[in-house]
Structure formats: structure tokens, C-alpha cells
Amino acid sequence: MMAIAKAIIEPSVKLISGHKLPLVGFGTWKSEPNTVGEAVKAAIRGGCRHIDCAAAYQNEKEVGLALKEMFTTGVVKREELFITSKLYNTCHEKHNVRKHCEITLNHLGLEYLDLYLVHWPVAFEYTGESLDDPMNDDGSAKVINVPLQVTWQEMEALVDDGLTKSIGVSNYNVQTLNDLLTYCRIKPAVNQVELHPYNTQPLLKWYCERNDIHLTAYSPLGSGQLVNDPKVAEIAIKYDRSVSNILCRWAIQHGFSVIPKSVTPSRITENLSIVDFTISDVDMEQLNALNKSLRTCDPADFWGLPMFS
């Protein structure tokens, strides 16, 4: 399954929903205002056809303006792009799911999403369109009791009504996925989690493969933790590739899609150039052996909550 985008051949995976997801994507997390739009345009011009967004990133309006320019100037057609967004923790209540999906569509200037994810398997007190994290005096998040089943039923309704083609989850572990599969009418097509050689999550990988849930790897460089690892550097030199190339290629060879982020045009192009080489089995095992279950995106740090995936 190969999708040709300009000069770049981008492999894709067919999701359980029947739609194809390009394995090489572009992430918009932590992109500063007045930079993310140009970065998205650079990624699209470079051949990227998978753009990962989220309401919580607070930059979807700027992303939407970039998409509009790409459409109106004929650089790409809407149907050629795979665009993901996510429902934030403060929006899990039944009456807020569709409302905030529609807000995201309005910000992005789209009629539909290709994939809509439940960002985290936890519900917070509603804070309106600002999506501010509601915090208790002790520094923990104000969690409310909204069963994940209630939220998922509303996600399924979004598919029924054509607001998104596929639905999925993010930061779900085996336990939360197993629970979801007992009541879902539409199975999650994707689980987006932190995956890299320092955090390989073999049990989650096994479970998702067994249940036809595709894994997308965010923070493929371990939020920079892997950049100076001597073994990764050694392998990068061996293949005459950048460390980023090696880490993203590691994800692809595990069958994950990957969404590296950058606002530098040269690095954006570099991150897309990972489909024309293969890491040997021996070197893949050396990268796998770096695993130390290190999480760089841990809700215990910013919400005082246990990790989910």
C-alpha cells in the first residue's frame, strides 16, 4: 500500500475503519504561535499528507489558515490529506463531545476529520472553550466522574453523522483498551501513545496488534532524551542518517505511524525522508534493548495522576 505524494513515497496502513493512514506524519504539539502555520505548509509542500492536531495544542486556528492556503493555491486537495484532532479531557461529558468536535472543525476550516481521538482516558471539570486545566489547591487536576463509555458513544455518533471518518484513543493502556472493547460499537482504529527506544511498550504493542488497533508514536525522539544517546548516534553514523531519521525509522519498522514535530523547514524535510532505507534486524534489536520504560509525557508530573499507557 503506497501513496505517492510529490517526490516522496509515503507508506500507509489500512485501519480497521477501512481508511488509510500515512505512516509518516507531522506533529503540531508544542509548536509556538506564528510558527506552526508555516511549518504545516512546509510539511505539506515536502510531501507529508498526515497532519496531527489537537484542540489542547491551542494552535488549530493557525493550522486551519495554513490548510486553507494549501487548498486554495492548489498545492493539495482536502481528500489527499489525513487530518487528526483530539477531544480534550474537559470535554468528555455527553453534551460537550459533538460541540467541541464542531469547534475543532471550525478552527481547522474543515467539514470532516479523518481521525478524532479521545486525548486522555480521564475527564476533567469543564472550563469552556479555553480548555484550561481545572486544578485543585493541592496542584492536582479536578477529575469528574464521566464514564468512558458515555464519551465513546458520543464519539461513535460523530462517525455516524460524518464529522469524522475514524475514531480512536490516545494514551490508553491495555486495561483501558480492554474495557473499551467490551462496550464499543465502533472499535478504536488508533491508539496514539509515547513510543521510542527508551519506552518500547511491548505489552501494549502486542495487545494492539492482536486487536487490530494501530499504534501512532508521539515524541519519537523521547522529547530530546534520545538525541545524545551513544548507541543511537553510532547507528546513525553507520547508516549516514540523522538521529531523528533513525528513531522515526525505528517506529516505522515496528509498524507504528510516527508524528515528529519541527518548525525548521530543513528538519521537516529530513523527518519525511525515512522510507528509502531499512535498519537491520541486529540494529533494531540494539535499539529495542535501550528500553527503560522512560516516559517524557507523564500526567503525574502535570496533573498529579497515574500514567495511563
Task: Determine whether 47 is exposed, middle or buried from the number of CB atoms within 10 Å of its CB (0-12, 13-18, 19+).
Answer: buried
The sheet with strand 190-194 has its strands ordered as 26-27, 50-52, 82-87, 113-118, 164-170, 190-194, 214-218, 257-258
Task: Determine whether 130 is exposed, middle or buried from the number of CB atoms within 10 Å of its CB (0-12, 13-18, 19+).
Answer: exposed
Between CA 4 and CA 294 the distance in angstroms is 35
**Contact status, residue 21 vs residue 15, Cβ threshold 8 Å:** yes
- Residue 88 annotated as catalytic: no
Catalytic residue among 57, 88, 126, 207: 57
User: Where is 52: in which H helix or E strand?
Assistant: strand 50-52
Between CA 202 and CA 194 the distance in angstroms is 12
Where helices occur in the chain by DSSP H, the ranges are: 36-45, 60-72, 94-108, 148-160, 174-183, 202-210, 230-239, 243-253, 265-272, 281-288, 299-302
Q: How far is CA 92 from CA 143, 149, 180, 245, in A?
A: 11, 10, 15, 36
Could you give the residue numbers annotated as active site? Answer: 57
